[in-house]
Chain A
């Protein structure tokens, strides 16, 4: 990095001013071709190292998917999707778990989406810089870092025991709603912040009130961004296992829930149950269950990415 400037000025006789003459090996001499080549080689090696590190993640993803498909595809049949769990792996299916996951998804969305959007709107459009808004902001950042199993303990202590909801869908959905709320609030705020100021000021100049600006201008413009965040939050809720185990969701359910107060199981818990058994036949149907879960999740993610890209292309203010 520190190549000395070309020295052409005459020097006093008798002073050794060349490294070559002083006996310094050429390859150490800054600016020498060998030195430059070595620096280039080091840079190249480093680039390859970085590339390899980036590929590790992609490679693991491919290996994981290949392993799951290899093990789980043979047992992924319509019977598997439409049967209740069983002691015999050949007869076991994911009907109760899949329906339970969909129930949980709908109820969680019902609680978390309106609350998350309302909180995001308040923080962005209404809150002044007071201690209260600062406390709420810091609090949301911290809640996003709380391990999911702690939310499970909250659900167990608050919803299952104190509010006497037992091990019901409602208790599970309320727990999940609290878990994903910070994600929805944060993404709502980002989407709202992306709406340019001029749009709001134009509406205010026409005499609109704050709520009219929010409903008429801000929310429609921020909708695609908010949807992306909501879908990602809900896909987190579908994949979570630990909080639901903690609140005591059952692992063996041979009926479908008919109301939010019924006991339930979900896909990840069913998969966990099968993985924990020693028999390889259960591992195979666990892999089949994972395929179903990943198909649901990846299609949700694809929808979120599509909405985000469309929003980016459409919104050119």
Chain B
């Protein structure tokens, strides 16, 4: 830093210099700010790029396939000679695995958050939280391996007739994957509940369980709902676990024990093949991607607006 007075700043030096210096400094500051602003704008360009690419290719897709067929067909066979484009087939598989994942992650994550926020001693918390962070940092391809080669054999032993590729195994493991997210975000919401509310309840003679279940969880409810929505969005966009463990056969079914194909798994399937650029198959992955993007965007925006509108303000 050059904060020292300039050596030529004698009392007799021309007056002009002291007037010009701030101006030059201001100009230099402008030059520093410009690239920083450009860097911040990269995030805007990213969004614009995503929307532009998806909209352009999706538009091309709907040029060849009418929208109503996309929405009303009950089969998904763009890679066969007789083509059907019912997105509902892929969407149902995505909903099935995400719903299964939430059945696992929602109760476990909430209870774990209550434990960490209300019961655990600081020492236990210091030991448990890094473990949950590691769980959150494990690559999804490793979870996919775990689902296919560890969870599926167990399911097959427990429920005879379970296929090698099935939705249940993928859903269970996605549930485990988003568990750290549900518990840490819910715990943050509970930590924001003021101490006075808890102490008031204790003063009335409430047990720890009553404080947790009837004071803390209701007070943190909006934060917990927002956490759940973000977690559902993660489950919907999860790719490798379903691509490895749930199979690649688009089937319209509610059974979690047969092979299915989610939206993300379809994009992977096409990307692994030799699909020529510009072909109809190539365009389908952008149309599916557009549907996926809109779905997750809706969930994220809903999560943010729950936080913004129902946040309890504590002075």
By a beta-carbon cutoff of 8 Å, the part of chain A in contact with chain B is 1-3, 39-40, 42-43, 46-47, 49-54, 56-58, 60-61, 63-64, 67-68, 71, 114-116, 118-119, 121-123, 126-127, 135-136, 139-143, 145-154, 156-158, 161, 178, 181-182, 185, 203, 206-212, 215-216, 232, 235-236, 238-242, 245-248, 251, 268, 271-272, 275-276, 283, 286-287, 290, 293-294, 297-298, 301, 305
Contact = CB atoms under 8 A, between A and B. Distances in A.
B40 A50 contact: no
Given A153-B53, A236-B137, 12 more contacts: A50-B114, A58-B132, A119-B43, A142-B297, A147-B234, A148-B237, A153-B286, A153-B289, A157-B286, A245-B268, A245-B272, A290-B141
Nearest to B45: A178
A50 B134 contact: no
For chain B, the bracket of interface size reads 35 or more
Given A290-B145, A301-B137, A126 B33 contact: yes
Given A57-B132, A153-B53, A147 B236 contact: yes
Contacts of A286: 145
B93 interface: no
Interface in B19-74: 25, 28-29, 32-33, 35-44, 46-47, 49-50, 53-54, 56-57
Nearest to B289: A153
B126 to A, nearest CB: 10
Contacts, number: 283
Given A115-B39, A126-B37, A272-B244, A50 B112 contact: yes
Given A53-B112, A147-B264, A294 B42 contact: no
B50 to A, nearest CB: 5
Interface of B: 1-3, 25, 28-29, 32-33, 35-44, 46-47, 49-50, 53-54, 56-57, 107-112, 114-116, 118-120, 128, 130-135, 137-142, 144-146, 148-150, 176, 179-180, 183, 201, 204-210, 212-214, 230, 233-234, 236-240, 243-244, 264, 267-268, 271-272, 277, 285-286, 289, 292-293, 296-297, 299-301, 304
Given A245-B272, A301-B137, A275 B43 contact: no
B205 A239 contact: no
A147 B297 CA distance: 9
Given A43-B210, A122-B39, A157-B53, A145 B296 contact: yes
Contact of B141 (A50, A239, A248, A283): A239
A126 B152 CA distance: 53
Contacts of B176: 56-57, 60
A271 B240 CA distance: 11
Given A60-B176, A245-B268, A1 B1 contact: no
A246 B267 contact: yes
A122 B50 contact: no
Contacts of B1: 203, 208, 212, 215-216
B209 A42 contact: yes
B268 to A, nearest CB: 6
B187 to A, nearest CB: 11
A181 B42 contact: yes
Given A122-B37, A239-B141, A154 B179 contact: no
Contacts of A42: 207, 209
